[in-house]
């Protein structure tokens, strides 16, 4: 049996790390004898998450450029040179058959050095607005796997393959019943549930909104399942009641998605891909504090297909109650949004990405 070697890089945020791990897991299931090596940025979360998933990782001394003049920016050329030299050494020692990049600072030096060594490279871009690292690497890649239409704005058209984003397999087919889900969270099966998702750390502006609107939800006869994030849990746990459940994080996302009738969420690529599978009406509140404002672009791509509602943070005080009431008062609108977002789901994304990688293997 062929013993392939795969080198992967993606990090800085869970949005880059999780897809890289999902791709590695699928490759491993098809090629049990394969060897894997991840490359990350030394002080970023991938250095912890990748070993937890069972893979070896090596770190580069790399970070992004800050938007204002800082000491870190002055260090950037030295970090880049150090990372390129170390990446070249790693590639030379490991001798991979294919290099795979899912975005993040470390994938730049690694894939650049892999490409210059003649190793075929595959990029995976999660967002509808491409990240700077992947845009810079596009010329070196053989294939670029994307999740949205219209990505020829950023990449050579002939290299693009629309695969979707890797997602957690327990969400592909939500088998749990509503009763099981509401019982798990201590909710009331006779009431409709608003599910609030702010990401693992939480979203300050969403939390402020929900705190302000708790009475509004109560007057509508709704209950709230509120994932406020571990940074904010101590601040908001005081609102816990029979109809308001406050969680730092959700261990059973499959049950949370089943329990929710309407979902309020950030618009990171992973969340959007999962919510397409779930097929429930969603109000997206994109984070404005991310590179290239990509969350707004992700949400707009769904709004354009009548598949979601989007509210900017600046609109929340004036527009939230009106938009939310309009949604809750119209079952037709809820059904339309749920049906249209489900049409955008790509549950076999990881398999399709790995199919593209396999085409580059010299068997």
Annotated binding site for UDP-N-acetyl-alpha-D-glucosamine: 13-15, 127, 168, 200, 295
Q: Which residues, other chains included, contact 316 with Cβ-Cβ below 8 Å and sequence gap of 6+?
A: 205, 209, 285
List pLDDT tens digits, range 53-81.
Answer: 999 999 888 766 555 556 666 676 777 78
Annotated binding site: 13-15, 127, 168, 200, 295
Q: Which of 342, 193, 209 is nearest to 266 (CA)?
A: 209
- Residues 209 and 355 grouped into a single domain: no
- Residues 155 and 185 grouped into a single domain: no
- Residues 198 and 145 grouped into a single domain: no
Confidence of residue 33 (pLDDT cuts 50, 70, 90): very high
Residues in the chain, how many? 363
- Residues 230 and 95 grouped into a single domain: no
List pLDDT tens digits, range 96-131.
Answer: 999 999 998 889 999 999 999 999 999 999 999 998
Confidence of residue 363 (pLDDT cuts 50, 70, 90): low
- Residues 327 and 220 grouped into a single domain: yes
Q: Which letter, b or e, does each residue of 182-195 get, where b requires 16 or more Cβ atoms within 10 Å of its Cβ?
A: bebbebeeeeebbb
Distances (CA, A) of 225 to 67, 186, 198, 229, 249: 36, 10, 12, 12, 11
Mark out the alpha helices in the chain (DSSP H runs): 14-30, 46-52, 71-94, 107-116, 132-137, 178-185, 204-219, 233-236, 253-259, 269-278, 294-303, 316-329, 331-343, 349-359
- Residues 118 and 229 grouped into a single domain: no
Pair type for strands 244-247 and 223-227: parallel
- Residues 303 and 326 grouped into a single domain: yes
Q: Which of 280, 265, 261 is nearest to 222 (CA)?
A: 261
Whole domain around residue 248: which residue ranges?
A: 170-343
Q: How many separate domains does the chain show?
A: 2
CATH number at residue 226: 3.40.50.2000
Rounded to two decimals, what is the model's pTM? 0.87
């Amino acid at each position: 049996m062929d013993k392939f070697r795969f080198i992967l890089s993606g990090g800085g945020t869970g949005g880059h790390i999780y897809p890289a791990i999902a791709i590695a897991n699928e490759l491993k299931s098809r090629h049990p004898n394969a060897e894997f090596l991840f490359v990350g940025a030394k002080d970023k979360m991938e250095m912890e998450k990748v070993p937890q998933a069972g893979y070896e990782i090596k770190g580069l001394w790399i970070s992004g450029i800050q938007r204002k003049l800082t000491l870190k920016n002055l260090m950037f050329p030295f970090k880049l040179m150090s990372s390129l030299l170390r990446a070249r050494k790693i590639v030379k020692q490991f001798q991979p058959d294919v290099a795979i990049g899912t975005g993040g600072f470390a994938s730049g030096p690694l894939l650049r050095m892999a490409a210059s060594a003649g190793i075929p490279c595959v990029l995976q871009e999660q967002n509808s607005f491409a990240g700077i690292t992947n845009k810079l690497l596009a010329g070196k890649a053989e294939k670029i796997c994307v999740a949205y239409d219209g990505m020829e704005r950023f990449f050579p058209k002939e290299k693009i393959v629309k695969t979707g984003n890797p997602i957690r397999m327990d969400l592909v087919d939500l088998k749990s019943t509503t009763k099981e889900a509401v019982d798990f969270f201590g909710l009331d099966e006779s009431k409709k549930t608003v599910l609030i998702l702010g990401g693992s750390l939480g979203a300050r502006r969403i939390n402020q909104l929900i705190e302000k609107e708790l009475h509004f939800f109560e007057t509508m006869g709704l209950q709230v399942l509120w994932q406020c994030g571990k940074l904010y849990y101590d601040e908001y746990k005081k609102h816990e009641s029979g109809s308001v459940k406050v969680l730092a994080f959700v261990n059973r996302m499959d049950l949370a998605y089943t329990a929710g009738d309407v979902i309020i969420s950030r618009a990171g690529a992973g969340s959007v891909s999962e919510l397409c599978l779930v097929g429930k009406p969603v109000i997206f509140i994109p984070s404005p504090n991310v590179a290239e404002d990509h969350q707004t672009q992700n949400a707009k791509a769904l709004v354009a297909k009548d598949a979601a509602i989007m509210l900017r943070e600046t609109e929340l005080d004036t527009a939230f109650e009106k938009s939310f009431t309009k949604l809750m008062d119209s079952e037709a609108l809820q059904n339309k949004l749920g049906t249209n977002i489900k049409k955008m789901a790509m549950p076999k994304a990881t398999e399709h990405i790995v199919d593209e990688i396999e085409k580059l293997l010299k068997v």
